[in-house]
Amino acid sequence: MSTAAGPKPPHTVPRILHLHSTFAAGGKEVRAVRLMNAWGPRLDHTIVSAEPQSMAAAALVQGDVAVDYAQDFPSLKGRPTPMRLGRLARAMRGFDLVCTYNWGAMDAVMAHRLFAGMWNLPPLVHHEDGFNEDEAARLKPARNLYRLAALGRVATLIVPSTGLETIARLLWRQPEARVKRIPNGIDTAAFAAPPDAQALPIRKREGEFWVGTLAGLRAVKRLPDLVAAFAPLPPEWQLVICGEGPERAAILAKAEELGIGNRLHLPGNVDPAKVVGLFDIFALSSASEQFPLSVVEAMAAGLPVAAPDVGDICHILGEQNRVLIAPPGDVGALSGALLALAANPDLRSALGQANRQRARENFDFAVMQAAYESAYSRAMSRPF
């Protein structure tokens, strides 16, 4: 269902406006939906995406969650003119809290910064989860200046990783009291349960092994690199890349170029808890990550991980698995890690068991949910 943007009537249940850079089924979107599902009818949600065609995460919202998808909200994209920012600000009225996500929603943060007093806007909590391809290697100075100015009135800036916490404090000059690091968490018990072989349109044949990943098919994920790293594995190994996005054709083209098109599977978006346990190795190839939820999910499912040393991945993984982490962008090293794991089932088992225990002890969803609930309640000055 959809709702008109703008002032809302008084409501006993807190109303949260979520302004997303995209609502595709990626890490931050899945986390947001899981929190919405956990809170159920305790909150009302209105969701806007800077990319209106990217709404796949909506399919993950449970039926008892009160959620609207505002079709007539001002676009989150465009030149940050005073008139456009004013329209964005007016559309925030009537909510109890505004939640913004990543660079794609930064104009909304600036609108709030400029017009919060004039329009008596609700408090705003900004979430920063990482960077796209255009800032994977180096943050753009102009964007840093814009962020610094826009973030001046946020109630809280939530980040999942130590790297982003440092960036927020040093580059965006956010005071310590404003920045809150909340590591991503998952329902570790759900991922420890047996997977559902019927949850994918493909079937795992006897004697077959899978390298798998969960990722939005975007350039920053460098998924053609993962295809190249996988290519030398023995023929009984298959590569399963779950997700949707604009890089699908490039991934398929790389597999055809390397002669492994018949060993690559792109089943689209999936329920991670039902699928990850079907993998034998979990792999990432991203140019940039912060605190990738998919790594924690793989750990909870008892999988070894092969990935580049980006973001907090080395902090997430236990010491035993860290030795297999590749330098960023080094396809050969990532391939070597995959080959080592593919050749040694005992190593896969040992690393998987250690990872599952570490995930259970450090990254359970309940801990994350409590931290988000505290941050949102504090911003609104009311519990929920």
> Looking at residue 107, which CATH number applies to its domain?
3.40.50.2000
Residues 335 and 218 in one domain: yes
Residues 155 and 227 in one domain: no
- Determine the pLDDT at residue 289: 86
- Determine the pLDDT at residue 136: 65
* 119, part of any domain: yes
pTM of the model: 0.72
* 213, part of any domain: yes
Q: Residues 325, 308: contact at Cβ < 8 Å?
A: yes
* 2, part of any domain: no
Question: What is the distance between the alpha carbons of residues 257 and 250, in angstroms, rounded to a whole number?
Answer: 10
Residues 27 and 78 in one domain: yes
- Determine the pLDDT at residue 6: 52
- Determine the pLDDT at residue 11: 62
Residues 238 and 150 in one domain: no
Which pair of structure tokens corresponds to residue 230? 């996988």
Nearest to 322 by CA among 345, 347, 351, 342: 351
* 343, part of any domain: yes
DSSP H helical segments within 9-103, as ranges? 27-39, 82-91
Residues 41 and 101 in one domain: yes
Residues (pLDDT < 50) of the chain are: 1-4, 8-9
Residues 162 and 277 in one domain: no
- Determine the pLDDT at residue 2: 43
- Determine the pLDDT at residue 329: 94
Q: Residues 301, 171: contact at Cβ < 8 Å?
A: no
Report CA-CA distances (Å) from 254 to 133, 221, 260, 366.
19, 14, 9, 40
* 226, part of any domain: yes
Residues 168 and 253 in one domain: no
Residues 247 and 171 in one domain: no
Q: Residues 225, 285: contact at Cβ < 8 Å?
A: yes
- Determine the pLDDT at residue 195: 96
Count how many domains the chain has. Answer: 2
* 3, part of any domain: no
Question: What is the distance between the alpha carbons of residues 323 and 318, in angstroms, rounded to a whole number?
Answer: 10
Question: What is the distance between the alpha carbons of residues 43 and 12, in angstroms, rounded to a whole number?
Answer: 9
Helix then strand count (H, E) for the chain reads 15, 12
Question: Which residues, including other chains, have CB under 8 Å from residue 63's CB and lie 6 or more apart?
Answer: none
Domain limits at 28? 15-185+365-380
Question: What is the distance between the alpha carbons of residues 300 and 296, in angstroms, rounded to a whole number?
Answer: 6
* 281, part of any domain: yes
* 1, part of any domain: no
Residues 353 and 375 in one domain: no
Question: What is the distance between the alpha carbons of residues 123 and 112, in angstroms, rounded to a whole number?
Answer: 9
Question: What is the distance between the alpha carbons of residues 60 and 127, in angstroms, rounded to a whole number?
Answer: 20
Residues 198 and 320 in one domain: yes
Question: What is the distance between the alpha carbons of residues 90 and 122, in angstroms, rounded to a whole number?
Answer: 11
Residues 141 and 193 in one domain: no
Residues 216 and 266 in one domain: yes
In this structure, how many other beta carbons lie within 10 angstroms of the beta carbon of residue 34?
A: 22
Question: What is the distance between the alpha carbons of residues 281 and 351, in angstroms, rounded to a whole number?
Answer: 10
